Structure 1
């Protein structure tokens, strides 16, 4: 039982290339199969978090792998949508820089001797929900004004979450070392 959340996270990591493979496959309705994988990954994310919290199975490995799996799935979906011409390049550039910065920063913090990890907060969770909705809409209703509006709001929420995490780091991690 104690490894179930981490097993679900590893499954989510394996779903990342499956999403890309299905998205670009020649199969009829390939984008919808890829969307089903994206949704399955989201369900495993919610499930592993709920199990870890309910049964007090939160681990350092899970705290690092879970957001990494989320970021890799999101970036893969966004790259696929950008390559396909559905998502604007400027939006992908913003997200790529932001997510790579977060991944690099998280790995640096984890591999320091303090092994500090900044936990997810409400801003990050809201941004994730909004981006999941944006990916869903870009696959189901590409090019509509409301899909683009959700995308812009999702990007703004991701940047807001990034600012929140940077403040948390500065006040709770960096200042403690000084």
Structure 2
């Protein structure tokens, strides 16, 4: 267990903590938990690369922690009627599709492209939308729709990279 993997594990622990705070109407505390999750996500990636502590476990847990937090937050915001069901459906379709597709390629022994800046930017857009949604700002839903559209664009880019990487093999 290295520091980056510990930080990723902490992000997983943040999920039920967020649910408790949000569910009790403590939106400021919920906002803080999401903000801390973002900071630990940035920190674990930076530390892993800087200290050469990138591990197989970390490369699997990190996106899992991101997706679990994202889906949890989206679902809680939906249950509070802060985002439309269409946005939730679009996010779930894209994320479940990406997860299942990655699993299929992984178990078939295919090479997976490394994370790129578009994927990181997608995460930034999603987190910005989530933080604005928790604060219940009017522009938040528009930012969320932009993040969703951008995430589908990045998915198509990723699929192209996946095909390219595996054609060379």
Q: Which residue of 2 aligns with 1:22?
A: 21
Deviation at 1:86, TM superposition (A): 0.3
Q: Which residue of 1 aligns with 2:38?
A: 42
**Corresponding residue SS for 2:114:** coil
RMSD over aligned Cα, in angstroms? Answer: 1.7
**Corresponding residue SS for 1:63:** helix
CA distance in 2 between counterparts of 1:102 and 1:85 reads 26
Q: 1:32 aligned to 2:25?
A: no
Q: Which residue of 2 aligns with 1:151?
A: 144
Calculate the TM-score normalised by the size of structure 1: 0.87
CA distance in 2 between counterparts of 1:154 and 1:129 reads 9
Any idea what the Cα deviations from partners look like across 1:35-85, whole Å, max 9, x if unmatched?
111111111100000001101111121111111110110111001001110
| Structure 1: runs of 5+ lacking an equivalent | none
Deviation at 1:113, TM superposition (A): 4.3
How many residues align structurally? 169
**Corresponding residue SS for 2:54:** coil
Any idea what the Cα deviations from partners look like across 1:92-151, whole Å, max 9, x if unmatched?
00001111112222333344446x433221111111111111001111134x1x222211
**Corresponding residue SS for 1:161:** helix
CA 168–50 in structure 1, closer or farther in 2 if over 3 Å, else same? same
Q: Which runs of 4+ in 1 moved over 4 A?
A: none
Calculate the TM-score normalised by the size of structure 2: 0.92
